Amino acid sequence: MEECAVAVFRLMVTGGGTGGHTYPALTAVRCLRERLAADGRALEVLWVGTAGGLESRVAAGEGIAFASVATGKIRRARNPLKMLSPANVRDMARVPLGIAQARSLISRFGPDVVLATGGYVAVPVGVAATRLCGRPLVVHEQTVRLGLANRTLAGRATRIAVSSPSTVPLLPEAARARAVVTGNPVRPEVLTGRPEKAVETLGLHGFDGRLPTVYVTGGAQGSQQINGLVADVLPWLLGHANVIHQCGPDNAGALRARTAALPPQLAGRYHLTGFVGPELPDVLALADLVIARSGAGTIAELTALGRPAVFIPLATSAGDEQAHNARWLEEQGAALALTGDLTPARLQEALHPLLTDPTRRTQMAANARTLGRPDAADRLVDLVLSAVS
């Protein structure tokens, strides 16, 4: 007796260059696979990105087929004339080749829908999908502002997923009716942390349970700016809080030497680590306050969890998007944004009322939680499926 063939849904994913574009796509793929499996269907995925990019490594680790196309990077400048640099002109000349390569991939793979999550590589794939191959395109924007690639594709997209209502007015007027606020997908495991597990895993037995716990992070590689500021205020900070400081693997030695002279009582409240891996959900569950950059992924996680934060935006982020993210959260009462010239005194001034007033932290946490969308991956998958039908 022959077995019935399993219906296969084909998804082409494009986007990458940074974790902010890559990991939301991966979370959406996992969610879609689970959704289809529950209906007895299979998912086949082809991820189209840049050769050697983060997305190629993530796809390989997930067992997802990967292909690359030519693409061009636009180097932004405040002066429009400087946009016509030789490097920009040279890179833009590669886009037609990328479109032709993407058309060939789409014709061979036959996706039911294309999901574009931003980054320069999304442009040739999105253009080929809509203009040359007639495939539905779903665009997902992670930031409060609209990225350059997604701005280019928005007018052609079947559906547009945004992470914030404030992004909708930034879309072309004709595209706004196709926009849906889904939020930014968050890895499910981030939402299941246990504070007591962080204490055991990291050996935080010197922490004072009467004090709030602050988690400091500059991202996987750390941030010299954040590390330096926190080190400068550390004796004062440890008088008011326990601190878990993720400083980046290359910075741990220097910071350990710098903080070696802390009095024993304060030293017991300070945990320095180069990298936080699988224990991150438990660390976030333990944290009463987070000091961090304001990338889209960080904001999605902290708002989904309802964690108050002090954001120190990366000044060199594309389009100054991190500063815009942080200011938007501050306007909603969900965080503090420290922009411009930042000194240890300014950081201490910002932290003091949050560390000494639990009611203020609680209110900021509640404001953050109202902005969070822990079901963002499911919302995005709904949109992907609706684009096909």
* pLDDT at res. 72: 66
DSSP sequence for 309-340:
EEE---TTSGGGHHHHHHHHHHHTTSEEE--S
Q: How far is residue 198's CA from residue 136's CA, in Å, rounded to a whole number?
A: 44
Cα-based angle 183, 280, 117 (whole degrees, multiple of 5): 30
pLDDT, tens only, 15-72: 998 888 999 999 999 999 999 999 999 999 999 999 999 999 999 999 999 999 998 6
Select the CATH number that applies to the domain covering 8-185+375-388 from these four: 3.40.50.2000, 3.40.50.720, 2.70.98.60, 3.40.600.10. Answer: 3.40.50.2000
Cα-based angle 319, 323, 324 (whole degrees, multiple of 5): 75
Per-residue tokens: 38: 């529950």
Closest CA to 190 of 373, 389, 364, 318: 373
Q: How far is residue 42's CA from residue 96's CA, in Å, rounded to a whole number?
A: 33
Asked if residues 378 and 161 have their Cβ atoms less than 8 Å apart, the reply is no
* pLDDT at res. 75: 45
Phi, psi for residue 340 in degrees, rounded to 5: 75, -155
pTM (two decimals): 0.89
Q: Provide mean pLDDT across the span 85-102.
A: 75
Instruction: Map residue 180 onto helix, strand or coil.
Output: strand
What percentage of the chain reaches a pLDDT higher than 90? 85
Cα radius of gyration (the chain): 22
| Same fold across 8-185+375-388 and 188-371 | yes
* pLDDT at res. 345: 97
Asked if residues 335 and 326 have their Cβ atoms less than 8 Å apart, the reply is yes
- Tokens 């935080």 sit on residue: 204
Burial class (CB in 10 A: 0-12, 13-18, 19+), 265: exposed
DSSP E strand boundaries for the chain: 8-14, 42-49, 65-68, 113-116, 137-141, 159-162, 179-181, 213-217, 242-246, 270-273, 289-292, 309-311, 335-337
Q: For residue 1, what pLDDT band results from cuts at 50, 70 and 90?
A: very low
Closest CA to 241 of 362, 352, 320, 131: 352
Please report, as a single letter, which amino acid is at residue 185.
P
Mean pLDDT across the chain, nearest whole number?
Answer: 92
DSSP E strand boundaries for 205-264: 213-217, 242-246
- Print burial letters for 158-176: b (CB count within 10 Å at least 16), e (below 16): bbbbbbbeebbebbeeebe
Per CATH, the number for 188-371 is 3.40.50.2000
Phi, psi for residue 3 in degrees, rounded to 5: -80, 150
As beta bridge partners, residue 181 has 162
Spans of all domains in the chain: 8-185+375-388, 188-371
Residue 374, pLDDT > 60, answer yes
> Who's near 370: CB < 8 A, 6+ residues apart?
332, 334
Q: Provide mean pLDDT across the span 94-101.
A: 89
pLDDT, tens only, 113-165: 999 999 999 999 999 999 999 999 999 999 988 888 999 999 999 999 999 99
* pLDDT at res. 268: 96
Q: Provide mean pLDDT across the span 215-219.
A: 94
What's the count of helices (H) and strands (E) in the chain, helices before strands?
Answer: 16, 13
Phi, psi for residue 207 in degrees, rounded to 5: -70, 145
* pLDDT at res. 5: 57
C-alpha distances (whole Å) from 338 to each of 12, 158, 244, 284 are 39, 38, 20, 21
Residue 89, pLDDT > 60, answer no
* pLDDT at res. 380: 98
Q: How far is residue 357's CA from residue 86's CA, in Å, rounded to a whole number?
A: 54
